[in-house]
Chains A and B, each alone.
Chain A
Amino acid sequence: ETGVTQSPTHLIKTRGQQVTLRCSSQSGHNTVSWYQQALGQGPQFIFQYYREEENGRGNFPPRFSGLQFPNYSSELNVNALELDDSALYLCASSLGGASYEQYFGPGTRLTVT
């Protein structure tokens, strides 16, 4: 059974650029959630995708967007990057929504300069 994987591991971008982060969910999981974890903080919920539809969103601006594909893998896109977007981005998959056990990936460390 393959766990949750994320790519890339690390990324450096310049303010104003756009970035795409990728997540492969655990086999059989139909729900993917994305979180932003700033240094020394707990993860902040960005949004959740269930069967290719957005199914919940946290307090993040529209420049944070996502996709879920038929194989349940997912992308997180961030436009017009700001310095405060520097963080660890975590992807988690589950068999149902966020009320179920979520399996987390190792994260993508994004640095915006």
Chain B
Amino acid sequence: AQTVTQSQPEMSVQEAETVTLSCTYDTSESNYYLFWYKQPPSRQMILVIRQEAYKQQNATENRFSVNFQKAAKSFSLKISDSQLGDTAMYFCACGTASKLTFGTGTRLQVTL
């Protein structure tokens, strides 16, 4: 069984600033993957970043990076140089090859 917890329902950040979204998870699987997906208003869900749990190195994708703490089962997302286009719902997810479990999401608002 897998559970994913996002404890920040809403966050706000000013343009060009840095923000960190929190996520904790629990899984009984030894081989699993972690994801952050972004769902802009009225638009399709897209992948932001992916982390293989067996890799110790934190994944990065341009302005997006994660802090993966395997022992603590924590997987936070850092967005640097926030842009207005980053405004969206952000979902953390934990998955195996045959199942993906999402958290309840964090609504991020980027302001001028």
B43 to chain A, nearest CB (A): 8
Contact partner, A105, options B44, B96, B105, Cβ 8 Å: B44
Q: Which residue of chain B has its CB nearest to the CB of A43? A: B102
List residues of A whose CB falls within 8 A of some B CB: 4, 33, 35, 41-45, 48, 55-56, 58, 90, 92, 96-99, 101-102, 104-107
Main secondary structure of the interface of A (DSSP, over half): loop
Q: Known contacts A41-B104, A42-B105, A43-B91: does B44 contact A104 (CB below 8 Å)?
A: yes
Number of interface residues of B (CB under 8 A): 23
Q: Known contacts A55-B98, A106-B44: does B33 contact A99 (CB below 8 Å)?
A: yes
Considering residues B43, B93, B99, B101, which has the most beta carbons from chain A within 10 angstroms of its beta carbon?
B99
Sorted nearest first, the 8 A-B pairs with minimum C-beta distance are A56-B98, A97-B97, A42-B102, A98-B100, A104-B45, A99-B33, A98-B95, A56-B99
Q: Which residue of chain A has its CB nearest to the CB of B47? A: A101
Binary interface encoding of chain B residues 75-112 relative to chain A, with 1 for a CB under 8 A from any of its CBs, else 0: 00000000000000001010111111111110000000
A101 contact set on B, CB distance < 8 A: 47, 50
A99 to chain B, nearest CB (A): 4
The answer for the CA separation of A47 and B35 in the assembled complex, in Å, is: 18
Q: Are A42 and B50 closer than 8 Å at their CB atoms?
A: no
A97 contact set on B, CB distance < 8 A: 96-98
B47 contact set on A, CB distance < 8 A: 101-102
Contact partner, A48, options B33, B44, B99, B103, Cβ 8 Å: B99
The reply on B11 being an interface residue by CB < 8 A is no
Q: Are A33 and B102 closer than 8 Å at their CB atoms?
A: no
Q: Which residue of chain A has its CB nearest to the CB of B45? A: A104
